[in-house]
Every structure is written in structure tokens, then in C-alpha cells.
Structure 1
Amino acid sequence: MRMYQYEKRLDCHALGQEIKRRRKAKGWTQEHLAQLVDLTPRSIMYIENRGQHTSLNAFYKLVTLFDISVDEFFYPDKLGGESERRKRIDRMLNDMDEKELIIIEGAAEGIRKARETEGT
């Protein structure tokens, strides 16, 4: 009796690039990040640049440390309707603090009100 084998493998290149982007945004070195998540700097380099798979525990530490939603990496086909621009803006929003988000919210509200007045 042959067991079912699932052929699809998780491509971690995009996730590695996102980890690298967020690490650099914080001004952290690969060495500093490695200490925080109990990995070697070489492991961080391979994750960021080669999309190397890591243990579930290290993966969990990395995505929670940087507050990364993994849905877009695990289910890219389900999020296919979103444009690259929207994804880029979402990533920028995730890096903003509360005060910056208030400014963005005000701008979006202003755009919405301007649309409403155009229609009347």
C-alpha cells in the first residue's frame, strides 16, 4: 500500500526577502537577529538570501518578531487579486507606528470625502 505524497514544497525566497527587509528597517545586523532567535548568522544569511527552510520553532520566532503575516507566503494563489502596489503599501503600513497611521487614516478619509463630493 502506497502512502499519499504531497509534492508541493513551500518556496521561502519571498519570506526570506521580507525578513531581510524588516531586519534592515530596524537597523539590525544578521548577527544581532541570529542572537535574538538562537540561530547562527550564516543561517540568517541563508534564510534571507536563499530562502532556506528552518525549523518550525525558528520560523515562528522570526515571523512573530517581525509581525509577518504568513498567509501571503503560504497561500499566494488565494491572494492573487491584490496588486503588487497594494501589497507594497500593506508592508509599509505594517512598519508604521500609531502616529503615522493616524496621518495615513486622515489622508484616506480625505480622499473618500472628496469622492463623495464629486458624485453630488
Structure 2
Amino acid sequence: MRRKEDKYDFRLFGLAIKEARVKQGLTREQVGASIEIDPRYLTNIENKGQHPSIQVLYDLVSLLNVSVDEFFLPNSEVIKTSRRRQLEKHLDNLTDQDLIIMESVAKGILDSKKIEDN
């Protein structure tokens, strides 16, 4: 028999869903309509850590581009955080010229970190 304390706490997941939804400018009603759930169900997932069904979990992470790795595989060496996945989604919409600029910015950040470490 499982003990109550062995249940996974979905509150951090709910907060990540809420953050991604707000960042994308979507209301709970819009997300609910998109994945065919009641907005109150989404409110409970976001604010109370209610356990979503597997289908709802899949629909939310797919729609909002949230990584589950950081929640379910916290000790994994290859973790794609939600922030990284959202950045990659933005990068997919950039031109090659835009990507050259982004690469230069990333290189500049890394170079400045090397200088700070020395």
C-alpha cells in the first residue's frame, strides 16, 4: 500500500504551467478550450498542485512547451528546462542572420563569465 507522503507533489509543475501560460499571454479559458478541460481544473493544477491526468499532463506540456525533465528526472545529467525549451522554440522562428546575432550574444556571455572567473 502506498503511503500518502510517497505521492508526487505537483505544485512545482503547476507553477511552471502557470508561468508558461502567462508568458505566452494565454488565459486559463483559452488553454482549457484548446485542450478541452474546464478552466477550474487548470486553476487547481496551477495553484493547488492537483494531479493532472496523463492526457492533460501531455496536452499541457505540449501546448505550453514545458519540460517535464526537471520535475520527473531531477538527477538526470541531460535536463532540458522549460526555459531552455521555450528559448529553443523562439530560435526555431529566427532567420539565419538572426541566429548569427544570437550566437554572438551567447558567446559574449560565456566569454564574460570566463573573465569573471579569473
- Normalising by structure 2, report the TM-score: 0.70
- Which consecutive residues of structure 2, in runs of 5 or more, have no partner in the other structure? none
Q: Displacement, 1:112?
A: 4.6
Alignment partners' CA distance in 1, 2:41 and 2:110: 46
CA RMSD of aligned residues (A): 3.1
Q: 1:28 — aligned with what?
A: 26
Q: 1:6 to 1:72 in 2, by over 3 A?
A: farther
Query: Does the CA-based 8 Å contact 1:10-1:74 persist in structure 2?
Result: no
Alignment partners' CA distance in 1, 2:59 and 2:23: 18
Matches within 5 A, 1:58-77: 58-76=56-74
The percent identity for this pair of structures is: 33
Matches within 5 A, 1:102-113: 102=99, 103-112=101-110
Alignment partners' CA distance in 2, 1:112 and 1:58: 38
- Normalising by structure 1, report the TM-score: 0.69
- Which consecutive residues of structure 1, in runs of 5 or more, have no partner in the other structure? none
Cα deviation digits, residues 44-70 of structure 1 (max 9, x gap): 100000110011111110011112221
Q: How many residues align?
A: 105
Q: 1:10 — aligned with what?
A: 8
Q: Displacement, 1:11?
A: 1.2
**Higher helix fraction: Structure 1 or Structure 2?**
2
**Structure 1, 46-55 or 105-114: larger mean CA deviation:** 105-114
Q: 1:72 to 1:92 in 2, by over 3 A?
A: closer
Flag the structure with larger Rg.
1
